[in-house]
Amino acid sequence: MIDPTPLASTAGYGEAADTLVEQYESVSFADVHRDVLHLFPSQPSAILDIGAGSGRDAAALAGQGHVVIAAEPTAELRALGQRIHDDRDIEWVDDSLPEMRMLRSRSQRFNLILLTAVWMHLDEMQRALAMESIADMLASEGRVILSLRHGPVPAGRRMFNVSAHETIELARGHGLSVVHHSEREDPHGRRGVRWTYLGLQQENAADTV
């Protein structure tokens, strides 16, 4: 029998917001993104952090002089993130994939779009729509940095087993090429959990590595 009320992509995050924020903030931006730090812009740029969570990454990037929008659909996480990082100039918005309706309605373009631990929460149809949204919001020569979680799914959460290959092929269908692909262990040390990191860029501007 099909469950008539499947879990939403944000299921379990609001109820566990306090614990999750403590977990997110226990590791640094530099440690989480150590394999892809070279892909972040070195000059002040427009950055969109989708699924910003506690705002750890958004705060680090704002501290580097970037103009950062943190999109977080879970109200509890968004409120905690705003409070924790109120010393940083971050614009927080209630927006989410796959449509990103608010930001796309502004016709904004970003030099970097960051998706940390977001993509595997979307089902196959949502991922197709989401990649279209991302490509639409990307500035010329802009990049996407995306991480995929693999391993056990925490109770009460919705995650899908999404491969790097599928994600790369979907990106290519929207004019994005791979400029980085790496695998690593879980920065929190959780057993059985590992991560894929992908860097994507418009094909006409990319030198694939």
pLDDT in tens, 27-65: 899 999 999 999 999 999 999 999 999 999 999 999 999
The rounded mean pLDDT for the chain is 89
Range of the domain at 97: 17-205
Does residue 116 or residue 207 have the better pLDDT? 116
Q: Is the dihedral of CA 182, 200, 142, 55 positive or negative?
A: negative
Any domain includes 92: yes
Give 39's DSSP letter. G
For residue 68, pLDDT over 80 is answered with yes
Give the tens place of pLDDT for each residue, 143-194.
Answer: 999 999 999 887 777 889 999 999 999 999 999 999 999 999 998 888 899 9
Residue 10 lies in a domain: no
CB 35 within 8 A of CB 152: no
Query: 45 lies in a domain?
Result: yes
Question: Which CATH number goes with the domain that contains 40?
Answer: 3.40.50.150
Distance CA 74, CA 51 (A): 9
Q: Is residue 164 part of a domain?
A: yes
Grade residue 84 by pLDDT with cuts at 50, 70 and 90. very high
Q: Is the pLDDT of residue 6 over 90?
A: no
The pLDDT of residue 24 is above 90: no
